[in-house]
Chains A and B, each alone.
Chain A
Amino acid sequence: MKDLLSRSLQTTIIFLIVGGILALALGGYFGSVSNWLTGLAVNAQSWFSSRYTAIQDLFAAPRDVAALRQRVAELESQNATLRAQIIELSERASQVETLSALLDYARANPESNYVAADVIGRDPSPFLHYIIINRGSNDGVLRGMPVVTDQGLVGRVDAVIADAARVQLITDPLSVVNVRLKDTDVEAALNGSVTGDLSLGFIPQDVTVEAGSLALTSGLGGAYPTDLIIGQVTNVRKREAELFQQASVQPAVDFSRLSIVLIITNFRPVDIAPLVPTQTP
C-alpha cells in the first residue's frame, strides 16, 4: 500500500513539476533559456541536415548530372528540330502568302490564263537582268509571253526549253516597254538599265507629268497586254534644250525578291517587224 502511495505521489510530483515547467514556459518565464535551447537544437539539426545532404549529393549527384546532361541533350535536340520546323513553316507560310496573292490576282483578272513558275536562277552576267523559271514548253510556255506577279509586270519570256524558260525583266538594259501614264494618258517608252533603274523616255515637252503618276502598259507594239501595272513616276527631268522629258519610275515589283511568277499563257505577242518600213537605196 505504501509502495502504491509512494508511486502515485512520485507520479503526481513529476506531473506537477512538468506541468509547472510548462506553465512557466508558457508564461514566458523561460524565454532566454528556451530560446537558447531552441537555437541549439535548430543549429544541430541544420548541421546534421547539411552533412546528410552533402553525403547524399556525394553519392547521388554524379548519376543526376549524367541524367541531366542526357536530358539537356534531348531537349537541345528537340529544340533544334522545333526551330527547323519553325523555319520550314514560316517559309511555307511565306510561300502560301505569295501564292494567295497570286491567286487573288488571277481571280481579279479572269480574262487571262496563268501558269505559275518558281524562279530558279538568274543570268550569270551582271549586265543583264534575266531570271530563269522552272516552266517551259512542256507547260505551254512560249517565247514572248508576258510574266507578272500580283504587284505588276515582271517581263516577258525570252527563251524556252522543255522544262525551263528565261525571262527578260523590264529592268534589263535591252528592255523597252511602251507605257501610258494613268492620270494624263501620256504615252512613253520605259527603258531598263544596267543598275536596274527604270526610266521613261519620249515624253513630249508640252505635257505635264507629275510624280506619283501610275505607269501602265499601253499595249502599243503588241508585246504586252494593256493596263498591266509597272510602277510610279518618282521624278521628272524637263530640260528646254531637249526634245523630250525624262522621268524615273519606281517599279511596283520588288525584283530582288522574286520567287514565284505568273506567265500569261493566252497572250500572243504581235510581231510587227515585217510592218516596220525599211530604207531602200
Chain B
Amino acid sequence: MRQLIAFPALALAVILQSAIVSRITLLSGFADLVLVVVVAWALQEGVTSAWHWSVLAGIATASISGLPWWAPLSGFLAATLLARFVQRRIWQAPLLAMFAVTFFASMFSYFISYAALALMGASMPLTDSFTLVILPSALLNLLFSIPVFWLTRDLSRWVNPVEEEE
C-alpha cells in the first residue's frame, strides 16, 4: 500500500519542476527535478518499484511538456536502467553512484530531447545547445542530487522498512 506514495511524490515533483525549478536558470538551462528523483529512487536499496516510478514520471512529464511523449519517457527509462545497473555494483558508495548516474542520465535525457526536437524541425546549433543548455542543466541536476538522494532514502525506508536482525 505504501508503494502508492509514488503518485503524490511524483505529482509534487512535477508541480515543483514546472512552477519553481524551471524558473531557476543557469545560462539557458535548468534542473530536471523529476529525473533526479527517478534516479535517486532507483538507486535506493530494497526498492522494487523503480520501473513503475520511471514510467509514471515519464507520463506525468509528457502530459505537461511540449516534447513528444516518448522523449521524456525514454529518458527516465534509460536513467532507471543505468541506476539499477550501477546500484548493484557501487552499492558501497551511494553518493558517488548518485552523482555518476545523475550526470550520465542527464546527458542521455537531454540528447534524446535534442534529437526529438531536431526531428520535429527545430534548428538548434549543437554547440549552443550543449554549452548553454545541456551542461548547465546537468550541473544543476548534480546540485539537486544530494538533497533529493537523502529525501528519497528516507522515503524508501518508510516504504520498505528493514526488519532488524536480532
Chain B binds chain A: yes
**Which A residue's beta carbon lies closest to that of B17?**
A124
Cross-chain pair count, CB within 8 angstroms: 89
Bound CA span A173–B124, Å: 7
Q: A124-B22, A127-B113 are in contact. Are A191 and B123 (CB under 8 A)?
A: yes
B19 touches A120 (CB 8 A): yes
Counting contact residues on chain A (CB < 8 A from B), the size range is: 20 to 34
A122 touches B22 (CB 8 A): yes
Does chain B have a CB within 8 A of A126?
Answer: yes
Does chain A have a CB within 8 A of B148?
Answer: no
Which of the residues A122, A124, A194 comes within 8 Å of B133, measured between beta carbons? A194
Bound CA span A124–B34, Å: 9
Which residues on the A side are within 8 Å of B157 (C-beta)? none
Q: Mark B1-44, 1 if CB is under 8 A from A, else 0.
A: 00000000000001101110011010011101010000000000
Bound CA span A120–B20, Å: 9
Q: A168-B66, A173-B124, A194-B124 are in contact. Are A126 and B29 (CB under 8 A)?
A: yes
Q: Determine chain B's interface SS by DSSP, over half rule.
A: helix
Most chain B CB neighbours (cut-off 10 Å) among A123, A126, A158: A126
Does chain B have a CB within 8 A of A166?
Answer: yes
Counting contact residues on chain B (CB < 8 A from A), the size range is: 20 to 34
Residues of B whose CB lies within 8 Å of any CB of A are 14-15, 17-19, 22-23, 25, 28-30, 32, 34, 61, 64-67, 71-72, 110, 113-114, 117, 120-124, 128-129, 132-133, 137
Can you sample 21 A-B contacts with CB below 8 Å? A120-B18, A121-B64, A122-B18, A122-B23, A124-B61, A126-B25, A126-B32, A127-B110, A127-B122, A132-B18, A168-B66, A172-B66, A173-B123, A174-B121, A191-B123, A194-B124, A194-B129, A194-B132, A194-B133, A195-B128, A196-B28
Additional 17 contacts, C-beta under 8 A, given A124-B22, A125-B65, A128-B65 = A121-B64, A122-B23, A124-B18, A124-B64, A126-B29, A127-B129, A127-B133, A130-B65, A132-B18, A159-B66, A166-B64, A173-B123, A174-B120, A174-B121, A174-B122, A194-B122, A195-B28
